[in-house]
């Protein structure tokens, strides 16, 4: 299929920047997405071509095609777009993991295992067996 060079370049740039393209399985759909202003048909057909060449891997689920860029695809797009080798897709950029939140408060003493629970370690909870009823002396 003949795809205009402008649209082909937009798809190449988007695929290289994101590292993945998600296309709805609707070839009659006009525009692909808000981020990529090209016909959905062009995106699907170009990704089918890339898949046959081994530049992307495809996963299909719930009427959506998910195309993931491979290492060969990265090299091909670098060559086509004239990018240096230090530029990489967003999927390969290592993000800093957010640190886990520290919960404040006082730590309880005692064993936190099953035995501590069974021995009655800590304050009684609820109205059931662990709490004395009425004026009964506490053990």
Domain coordinates of the chain in residue numbers? 21-83
Q: Beta strand 64-69 with 20-24: parallel, antiparallel or unpaired?
A: antiparallel
Give yes or no for residue 138 having a pLDDT over 70: no
Of 19-33, 88-102, 104-118, the poorest mean pLDDT is in 104-118
pLDDT band at 72; cut points 50, 70, 90: very high
pLDDT-derived band of residue 114, with 50, 70 and 90 as boundaries?
low
Strands 64-69 and 56-61 come out as: antiparallel
Between CA 56 and CA 69 the distance in angstroms is 4
Q: Is the overall model pTM greater than 0.85, yes or no?
A: no
- Per-residue pLDDT tens digits for 16-58: 999 999 888 877 777 766 778 898 889 999 999 999 999 999 9
Higher-confidence residue of 55 and 86: namely: 55
The total of other beta-carbon atoms located within 10 Å of residue 58's CB is: 14
Position 106 scores a pLDDT of 61
Residue 74: the pLDDT is: 92
Phi-psi region of 136 (alpha: psi -120 to 50; beta: other; left: phi over 0): beta
pLDDT higher than 80, residue 67: yes
* pLDDT at residue 126, rounded to an integer: 59
Closest CA to 12 of 91, 86, 82, 92: 82
Angle made by CA atoms 57, 63, 67, in degrees to the nearest 5: 15
Q: How far is Cα 123 from Cα 114, in angstroms, rounded to an integer?
A: 15
Buried b (16+ CB within 10 A) or exposed e, 69-97: bbeebbebbeeeeeeeeeeebeeeeeeee
What integer pLDDT is reported at residue 28 of this predicted model? 72
Pick the CATH number of 21-83 from 1.10.540.10, 1.10.10.10, 2.60.40.1190, 3.40.50.1780: 1.10.10.10
Tell me what pLDDT residue 56 has. Answer: 94
């Amino acid at each position: 299929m003949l795809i205009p060079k402008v649209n082909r370049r937009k798809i190449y740039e988007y695929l290289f920047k994101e590292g993945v393209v998600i296309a709805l399985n609707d070839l009659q759909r006009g525009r692909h997405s808000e981020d990529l202003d090209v016909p959905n048909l062009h995106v699907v057909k170009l990704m089918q071509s890339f898949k046959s060449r081994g530049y992307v891997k495809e996963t299909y689920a719930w009427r959506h095609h998910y195309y993931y860029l491979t290492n060969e695809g990265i090299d091909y797009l670098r060559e086509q777009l004239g990018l240096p080798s230090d530029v990489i897709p967003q999927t390969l950029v290592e993000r800093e993991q957010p640190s886990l939140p520290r919960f404040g408060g006082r730590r309880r003493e005692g064993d936190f295992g099953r035995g501590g629970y069974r021995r009655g370690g800590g304050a009684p909870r609820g109205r059931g067996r662990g709490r004395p009823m009425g004026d009964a002396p506490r053990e």
